[in-house]
Amino acid sequence: MGKPRSWEKPQKQKTQRDDEAVRGASGQLGMTRHGEFTVVIAQLAAYALMFGIVYSLGMETPGGIVGSGMLAASACMVMIVGWPFAGDSRQSVFGRIFSAVVFLVAAIFALQGEFYTDATFRRWALFLVVAFAAIVVVSFLRQMLRKVRSHLIASMSAGLTAAVTALGSTCWVFLPALMNDMSSKQADSATGWAVFIVLAAAAVLLLVASTSWWKELEHPAPFAWMGMGMLPVMLFGYLVFVAACVTHWML
């Protein structure tokens, strides 16, 4: 008998370890698993777009306001598509839809009335308090209505964080007011420098925290690195609103 031909040779059976190695290698090189560097780059690009677009379109002009709102909507969309949280796709459906609804409601509310008056800041602060309470109640009721309450804490925390983050992204509409106040002569004061230092330090802390969150995320969804990059930027919106309040009344 001669040697068996190549197609006659017994094929080696794939093991579970081989499958995991293939998935791991494809994840490292594909759209699912990226390093912390890509998360950082996504954040820096988002910050550059936010400040650059508002500055180029004009601070406290219709173009600047619309530009900040459109960029906030884009960041929210990226987070929803590139879901940066643990859990399978079925568990994330409600969280994605709820986050989109929260953003739309907040955006519609933000468009009511005049921009950047004393009443605007008071009205938005009150809205944030009410929205926080509503998000917590809806998230809790959603978990209680589930037939199978497996991974209850993880599922609730993911949906809650996503909704709060979506709400924070709408606070970026106050960036034109903040930039306008910080570019005035009164900004060259102790208050102005304190606001700048706090914002810069918070941005750095959120950036460092996001790299830690990314390392801890297991089995990320496709494009989750982009969603993780937007997460700190959207949360930074709360600080933009607080800083805008401070500069509005104290500068």
Q: Which residue has the higher pLDDT, 87 or 198?
A: 198
In whole angstroms, what is the distance from residue 44 CA to residue 113 CA? 32
pLDDT tens column, 193-202: 999 999 999 9
For the chain, give percent helix, strand, coil, nearest 5. 80, 0, 20
- Residue 208's alpha-carbon distances to 12, 36, 76, 195, 232, in angstroms, are 45, 10, 21, 20, 10
Please give the model's pTM, rounded to 2 decimal places.
0.84
pLDDT tens column, 23-60: 444 344 444 457 789 999 999 999 999 999 999 998 87
SS3 state of residue 62: helix
Domain limits, the chain: 31-250
17-26, 162-171, 204-213, 222-231, range with the lowest pLDDT = 17-26
Beta-carbon contacts of 31 under 8 Å, excluding residues fewer than 6 positions away, are 222, 223
